[in-house]
Amino acid sequence: MPVDMPHSALSGRAEAWRAELGGAFGQLTPVAIGERSLDGRFAGQHLGSVAAYQVSGTPQIVRRTPTAIRAVPIDLYKLCVQQAGRATVRQGDREVVLEPGQMAIYDTGKPYELRLEQTWTCAVMAFPRYALGLPEPIVAAAMHHAYALNEGPGTVLAGFVASAVAGGTVHQAAAERLGEAGLHLVAATLSESALMAHEDTADALRLQILGYIRNHLADSGLSHNQVAAAHHLGPRTLHRLFEHEPRTVTDQIRSLRLEAVHRDLADPLLANRSIAALAARWCFTDQAHFTRAFRARFGMTPSRSRTLRGHEPEE
């Protein structure tokens, strides 16, 4: 039969959970709902730029307050897949209710509140806001509703998130590729929903262009003008299409290529390839220019990046 825990033990566990949650998630603050004592558990791993966690607990409200944001600034999006119980995401004027099998996305750079009811479990992915490579209006619109993960890319995404949080430790190179695959699945899920909802024609065209860039990243002829021609647009029209986005088409191409080299430098299967060869694989033919761009993007040289990941550079 159940054994009642002493009050001191329950209180100690609640304080431990506050410390664990706050330390791992940017000073999130939990408050118990109802009579049950506050408690929770989480476990997870990093997959490149993606952090994947499974979090569970007793009924509670968790908040990221303006004070926490000032103290621990975090520029991440979070995606929550509800696996058990019920959650309500509140951020700004938005309120999104999640039942098991649904997901929502929200911005950790702004105050938010999660109301977690019953005995709940969530699978969480956290990733830099730039990592999705989607037009900002698409992501902003996505935050206004829940997504059912029972069809299309969402079905694959649900399986990926569940496996990512439950799986064992993987090698860094494999982890980075898994993280990238997860980001593609998130982007595909949001993109499909936006297109089915007949979002703004310009946003739909931007999505098509970003997909084209990813699919042709290794083509040496890929450029602003080539992308424009492939979509029957003038170069100036393409520029205007992206002028209010965080990155221009040229910036997007360069950034994705740098990320591809960064990923290859961690791959043990490519350890016998020189840095120059890996750079050329992604169309960086000027080594000095490539090294400057890599350092600006990742804060270190390609040689240093490879050394830190366990492979000596071969020039």
**Segment 4-51, tens digit of pLDDT:** 334 334 468 899 999 999 988 888 999 999 888 899 998 888 888 899
Considering the chain, what is the average pLDDT of its residues? 86
pLDDT band, residue 313 (cuts 50/70/90): very low
The whole-number pLDDT of residue 77 equals 94
CATH class for domain 7-196? mainly beta
Q: Which residue has the higher pLDDT, 57 or 167?
A: 57
Domains 7-196 and 201-308 share a fold: no
Which pLDDT value is given to residue 3? Answer: 34
Kindly report the CATH class assigned to 201-308: mainly alpha
Strand partners, 77: 107, 127
Q: What confidence score (pLDDT) does residue 121 get?
A: 94
Q: What pLDDT, on a 0 to 100 scale, did the predictor assign at position 308? A: 82
Question: Does residue 315 carry a pLDDT above 80?
Answer: no
Higher pLDDT, 153 or 18: 18
Residue-level pLDDT at 168: 67
Q: Which has more confidence, 107 or 6?
A: 107
Which pLDDT score is estimated for 177?
Answer: 82
More confident residue, 247 or 154: 247
Q: What is the mean pLDDT of residues 255-281?
A: 91
Ordered by start, the domain boundaries in the chain are 7-196, 201-308
Task: Specify the higher pLDDT residue, 251 or 7.
Answer: 251
pLDDT number for residue 161:
81
